Structure 1
Amino acid sequence: MSDIVLLRPWWLVILPLLAVVALWRWRKGAVSGGWQQVMPPAMFAAMRVLGHLHDIAGRQKFAALATAALISLGLCGPAVPRPDAPLLAGSGAILIAIDMSPSVAESAALADAQAAAAGILAAANGRPVGLLLYSGEAYDVAAPTADPATLESQIAVLKPGTMPGAGSRPAAALALARQMLSGTRDGDLVLVSDGGGIDDATQAEAERLTAEGVRLSILTLAPAAGGTTDSAALEALGSASASARSPEPVLRRLSRGGALNPDPAVAALQFRDLGPFIAALAALPLLSLFRRRT
């Protein structure tokens, strides 16, 4: 039962209203079609003795409410995951930006960065993936490609000295990523860094990325021995962050790869909607209203 989800939960607001109406009708007591309110008591009692008026049975009195309750339960869309649901690939590109400054390239953090990048390739689920490297400057290594396996060798050969120059300017990497993802719908940028070089320019570039609809995720690397970095400032750049050694939260986000506004058609493919079956049960109390009296 824990796997049941509601596809249209807003229909549940009808149930409290129906409960109030049911309570009101129960406290009102037995009724005879409203005739007791317009007929004198003596005439009303005589008509009942003659058999011309009957109290509405409890099951009939609440049949309409039960029908409405079952329909609203069906409309809220209780559903269970489909075991045969197709695996859908996202439409937006993923761009990996790896910090190759000396503090990363000349330490054990480089291996963590390579492993994290390989995990991103595996989590892409068919989405195009691109790669850029940065230190003092940023360089595009590969534009987003529908065959991320081609990036595996480029990631595997990263080593000290791969990048010219020194320093660490993540702002340059974010600016280049914004150019590479320009016009891309539903894009993701994953920044793999130890947090070196975070400044106001980096924050400004991160805000520009977000304004253009690119989701920024952060995978943090452990700083080199004796090194100090502002990991809090690094994590604050993105809307999701995790350690490069435990990147599962970011990888799950990338593997979903859906648009910001879920498509109802996609939900229909991923879940089996039980709502029509529950709504069909409303016919049972509804039929009791058509029962012929003898």
Structure 2
Amino acid sequence: MTEIVLLRPGWLVALPLLILLALWTWRRVPHAGGWGHVMPTRMLRAMQTLGHLHVGTRQSGASCLLAAAVLSIGLAGPAVPRDDAPLLAGSGAILIAIDMSRSVATSPALADAQASAAQVLAAAGGRAVGLILYDGEAYDVAAPTVDPSTLETQIAVLGPETMPGQGSRPAAAFALARQMLSTFSDGDLVLISDGGGMDAASVAEAERLTSSGARLLLLTLSGTAGPDVPPDIFDRLPGVSAIAAARAPEPVLRQLSEASHWRDAQAISPLRFLDLGPFISILALVPLMSLFRRTI
């Protein structure tokens, strides 16, 4: 089924107003332009019979209201996606921060982290993507680049011996991400983690990151080798835009690729959708043409 969107939905507010106006008009009797107030009823009918006076009809009022309703629907901008829409490169940058603590690196969860990171690369839509790995410290493995193939290799070779340190400090990853995204007008951090090390320092650094204008998206790992973490551990982080399991990352991927992420989505909507509004507005001429019908 073809998806239909409204580019200017505010114009639909006119429809209920037109319905109320139609009901009010229907309850009124046809008028004669004010002559009914100064002429006796007999004289008014005689003038109408002789053709010297024309009385308005409900049909003419209904035609005008129907035309106005069609115009309001057309102005609302019903549109369908264009098959020939150009593929535009996104703006800003995406950083992928992968938890490489021993609890993740020595467990099957590492494969989930690698697979979800690869899916983030595919959903970047031409935006620059960088890579951060962290355990007890955070390292900027790759600065944001528009060539994701360089990151695919680095993500594919991750293993238990990749990181030298111990522990897990998401706070260090948040701080490093804020520094790396400071030169971009907008940016996203996709954190892939099992929730280990989410302490007060992590909450504070996450708040600094989101306050700087960056978005925080989370992909959670399960089945790690470390101790169990509280199920609400990620709820402590402020300003999270989306959260999903690494094995089902669609909500996060949708946030990365959807048009609402564009700062000027209205400007590019004509490129992405075929506006049917002008074609629907032309149909308003059909009820209006009945007003020009000649009577004999």
Match of 1:281 in 2: 283
**Does the aligned pair in 2 maintain the 1:219–1:242 contact within 8 Å?**
yes
**Does the aligned pair in 1 maintain the 2:132–2:138 contact within 8 Å?**
yes
Match of 1:126 in 2: 126
Distance 2:126 2:64 in 1: 50
1:38–1:208 CA distance, 2 compared to 1 (3 A): farther
Post-superposition CA distance 1:149-202 (Å, at most 9, x none): 101111122111221221111011001000000031231110000100001111
Match of 2:268 in 1: 266
**Does the aligned pair in 2 maintain the 1:90–1:256 contact within 8 Å?**
no
Give the letter for the 1:197 counterpart: G
Distance 2:241 2:209 in 1: 12
Q: Which among 238, 248, 251 is matched to residue 250 of structure 2? A: 248
Greater mean deviation of Cα atoms: 115-124 or 133-142: 115-124
Match of 2:180 in 1: 180
**Does the aligned pair in 2 maintain the 1:190–1:217 contact within 8 Å?**
yes
1:90–1:210 CA distance, 2 compared to 1 (3 A): same
Distance 1:257 1:232 in 2: 30
1:50–1:263 CA distance, 2 compared to 1 (3 A): same
What displacement does 1:273 show? 0.7
Q: Say which SS state the counterpart of residue 17 (structure 2) adopts.
A: helix
Structural mapping, 1:164-175, within 5 Å: 164-175=164-175
Q: Gaps (5+ residues) in structure 2?
A: none
Match of 1:39 in 2: 39
Greater mean deviation of Cα atoms: 198-207 or 219-228: 219-228
Identity %: 64
Question: Does residue 93 of structure 1 match 2:90?
Answer: no
Q: Say which SS state the counterpart of residue 292 (structure 2) adopts.
A: coil
Greater mean deviation of Cα atoms: 259-268 or 91-100: 259-268
Distance 2:265 2:252 in 1: 22
1:8–1:262 CA distance, 2 compared to 1 (3 A): same
Q: Say which SS state the counterpart of residue 107 (structure 2) adopts.
A: coil
Distance 2:275 2:189 in 1: 34
Distance 2:216 2:73 in 1: 39
Distance 1:96 1:235 in 2: 20
Match of 1:234 in 2: 234
Q: Say which SS state the counterpart of residue 97 (structure 1) adopts.
A: strand
Distance 1:168 1:225 in 2: 13
Distance 1:25 1:196 in 2: 68
Give the letter for the 1:160 counterpart: P
**Does the aligned pair in 2 maintain the 1:7–1:78 contact within 8 Å?**
yes
What TM-score results when the alignment is normalised by the length of structure 2?
0.92
Distance 1:241 1:202 in 2: 17
What TM-score results when the alignment is normalised by the length of structure 1?
0.93
What displacement does 1:293 show? 4.0
Runs of 4+ that moved beyond 6 A: none
Instruction: Report the aligned-residue RMSD.
Output: 1.9
Match of 1:154 in 2: 154
